[in-house]
Structure 1
Amino acid sequence: MSALPTPDFSYRMRLIGHTDQGGRSDGLQIMVHRGFAYVAHPWSGGFSIVDVRDPSRPAPAGFVAAPPRTWTIHLQTHDNLLLVVHALDLFADASFVDERAYYSGSVGETLGTAGQSGGSPRSWSAGMAIYDLSKPAQPRQIGFFPVDGGGIHRIWYVGGRWAYVSALLDGFTDYILLIVDLADPTRPVEAGRYWLPGMNLAAGETPGWGKDRRFGLHHAVVSGDTAYACWRDGGLTLLDVSDRSAPRLIVHRNWSPPYGGGTHSALPLPDRNLLIVADEAVADEEADGRKHTWVFDVREPANPVSIATFPTPSETDFPRKGAHFGPHNLHENRPGSFVSSTLIFATWQNAGLRVFDISDPYQPRQTGAFVPAAPVRMIDRRVRPQVIQSADVFVDAQGLAYVTDNNAGLSIIEYAG
């Protein structure tokens, strides 16, 4: 067993396992399920299966290649199902060679799909692949949910009949919410959809935001009959999804401007009537401004009130370190994982993994930190700084945090709190 990489910084956290995922050291979303980690790759064209039954000795156990020109960067697991997004590999498209083009302006308009309706030929796969996980190291595809357009970005699925996906469809400016009926996972069908007014160009709607802004759904997290949806520069919506065929707006809040947008991840804490919302940092060296993770009081769902922000990591000059500094993903309290309404695990890109205690929601405190070592080599095919970019975090039921990186492999971290 080779020596573990020495972290740049740690506080009340220690590295217990690390893997380059069979030479594919790039990773985005990760699910840990029944002793195996499923790691979606942003650059290596597919997803990996890693045996983590002994988390101190993670071992590559398989790889499923993506179709040509296709992203499979997000995935979900529950029971015997694995759901994987299929979308155009945007960062391999000439329109998005400069990543700023992806984060500013409507993706559908940049690609030229926003004015279309009815579909057109595609050279990539667009939709959601459904796999059977009866054999965890050998996913077997059993179904596919196709869409006309760029494809699906992210999914929320925690079992049962309904999956909630963000989809770029022909005729729309950007990603909208689709609800997918998985009563028969071999034959998924659309149940309902929701978009912000102005997004449906094919229906004659006109956007009310500027050309340099992105009103597009990153994803929604659903608790009970409420979907908490983050719309990048469009802020936050709470949606009533009790009727899956007709999602209904409860409230729309947007704090951009004056803040810099990038609203990315929502984490509802229903037992405390709280909601955590992370705004993603999407530009190097804070060129898009200081981004925050917000605490909302949602006792009155129609009037969510921001009551605090998480403290910003400050052990070094992270804004000048290079690449992105600021929030990205939150551990989402999935069934079967670590579930807490007081401890929040969050990735902070070049500042690694952070743990926050919100026992007092008005005064969040940082109680753990881990900044992995810099990447040994760059998998990202764009010209990027060779610094850590911690991407996603999954915390298992034993409290071990599994953290992916754009280039630096999978880190398995123990929290001493």
Structure 2
Amino acid sequence: IRNFGLPGQEPGAAGPVPMTLHGAISTGPKGNRVYFGYGTNQGGILQIVDREKLLNGPKEPTPENLLYPQVSRFDMMPNNGAHTVFPLLGVDMPEYAKAKDGSPRDFIVITDEAIQKECLEGRQQVWFVDITTETRPMGVSNWTVKEASGNYCTRGGRYGSHSSNEAVTSVYHKRIMFFTWFNAGLRALDVRDPYNPKEIAYYIPAMNKNTVVLETPATQRGKVNATAASDRMAIQSNNVDVDDRGYIYVVDRANSGMHILQLTGSARAIANWPKK
């Protein structure tokens, strides 16, 4: 057990304090990596850490000891966060198979969290970072729901990404990922080529008798010039995960409950269904 974070977060540190850790995903002893995401809607940082050094290295929270297990760090733009940092490792890239070190490649999928309503913050979306050369992470693509496709900024509630699925199942892994987008519902992306992610399906649940107006977090009130749209009721798809049967589970932040979904049509054909 130890205290760990970024330099600047240790006791007695001076100067600006980095955003706090939100999510961490470990590959376990075999992979020997932990991926940390700091910040949610601003000041985002992806940190790649050596698991063995983290667990067994020097524990005193000094700047030097905090950097000891770090493999690399990727700083995002000031107005974007790193709510979820999901590893897509060993992705076969047929287009680059003949290029030097072209395939397979390793990626981290970073999902920001939208917090302000009415688009009164940086656009929170999904980012694909190539970490094949671990010490030199490089952003290679991004994806967002087009606002005009549903007039989401004035629809009520939050609009923007929140999280991705984190369960790893052979049905979807390295083929399809799912992302919640608050009032734009659930989005499914074909991630077989992380340089060119493509939307293949979406689902926006209907509001019901349990849906409520999502409150603005106390830390955000009064910071922006909100209008009447901020008080409109809207679906707020918040978290998503999947299971080995291919079912997709989406829960709503505005009290609308849980939705259990499955893919249909051409999107379903991309998944890796067990042979019968």
For 2:171 and 2:256, how far apart are their aligned partners in 1? Answer: 24
Q: Where in structure 2 are the equivalents of 1:16-31 lying within 5 Å? A: none
Ranges in structure 1 where 5+ consecutive residues have no aligned partner: 1-189
1:238 aligned residue? 48
Whether 2:238 is the aligned partner of 1:391: answer yes
Q: Is the 8 A contact 2:83 2:111 kept in 1?
A: yes
1:412 aligns with 2:222: no
Q: 1:382 to 1:363 in 2, by over 3 A?
A: closer
Please list, as runs of the form range in 1=range in 2, the aligned pairs for 1:246-285 lying within 5 A after superposition. Answer: 246=57, 248-257=69-78, 260-272=79-91, 273-285=106-118
Q: 1:382 to 1:295 in 2, by over 3 A?
A: closer
Query: Is residue 5 of structure 2 the alignment partner of residue 195 of structure 1?
Result: yes
TM-score, normalised by the number of residues in structure 1: 0.49
Residue 316 of structure 1 corresponds to 150
- Cα displacement (A) at 1:234: 4.0
Give the deviation of 1:245 after TM superposition: 3.3
User: Which whole-Å CA distance do the structure 1 matches of 2:206 and 2:110 have between them?
Assistant: 27
Alpha-carbon distance change, 329 to 381 in structure 1, aligned in 2, over 3 angstroms: closer
Q: Identify the residue that residue 20 of structure 1 maps to in structure 2.
A: none
4+ long deviations beyond 6 Å: none
Higher RCO structure (Cα 8 Å, ≥6 apart): 1
Q: After TM superposition, give the deviation of residue 375 of structure 1 in Å.
A: 4.0
- In 1, the alpha carbon distance for the partners of 2:56 and 2:183 equals 41
Residue in structure 1 matched with residue 129 of structure 2 by the alignment: 296
Partners of 2:139 and 2:179 in 1: how far apart? 19
Q: Which has the higher helix share?
A: 2
Q: Could you tell me how far 1:395 is from its partner in structure 2? A: 0.9
- After superposition, residues 116-195 of structure 1 pair within 5 angstroms as 190=1, 192-195=2-5
CA distance in 2, matches of 1:381, 1:264: 19
**Deviation string for 1:293-329 (max 9, x for gaps)?**
0111111111111110024244311122122111111
Q: Residues 63-74 of structure 1 correspond to what in structure 2 (within 5 A)?
A: none
Query: Is the 8 Å Cα contact of residues 172 and 246 (structure 2) preserved in structure 1?
Result: no
- In the other structure, the counterpart of 1:330 is 164
The total of aligned residue pairs comes to: 218
In the alignment, is residue 371 of structure 1 matched against residue 218 of structure 2? no
CA distance in 1, matches of 2:208, 2:214: 14
In the alignment, the residues of structure 2 paired with residue 229 and residue 251 of structure 1 have an alpha-carbon distance, to the nearest angstrom, of 11
Length-normalised TM-score, structure 2 = 0.73
- One-letter amino acid of the structure 2 residue matched with residue 238 of structure 1: I
Q: Flag the structure with higher strand content.
A: 1
Give, in whole Å, the separation in 1 of the partners of 2:110 and 2:184.
18
From the superposition, tell whether residues 199 and 234 of structure 1 become closer, same or farther in structure 2 (CA, over 3 Å).
farther
Counterpart in 2 of 1:101? none
Deviations 1:268-292 (A, max 9, x none): 0112211111111111111112112
Deviation at 1:360, TM superposition (A): 2.2
SS in 2 for 1:319: helix
Question: Cα deviation per residue 1:133-154 (whole Å; 9 max; x = unaligned)?
Answer: xxxxxxxxxxxxxxxxxxxxxx
Q: State the SS of the aligned residue for 2:166.
A: coil
Query: Which residue number corresponds to residue 16 of structure 2?
Result: 208
Aligned-pair identity in percent equals 27
Matched, 1:226 2:33: yes
Change (3 A) 1:394 1:376: same
Amino acid at match of 1:404: V
| Paired letter, 1:197 | P
Displacement of 1:237: 0.7
Say if 1:207 and 1:388 are closer, same or farther in 2 by CA, change over 3 A: farther
Distance 1:342 1:236 in 2: 23
- 2:272 is matched with none
Aligned Cα root-mean-square deviation (Å): 2.1
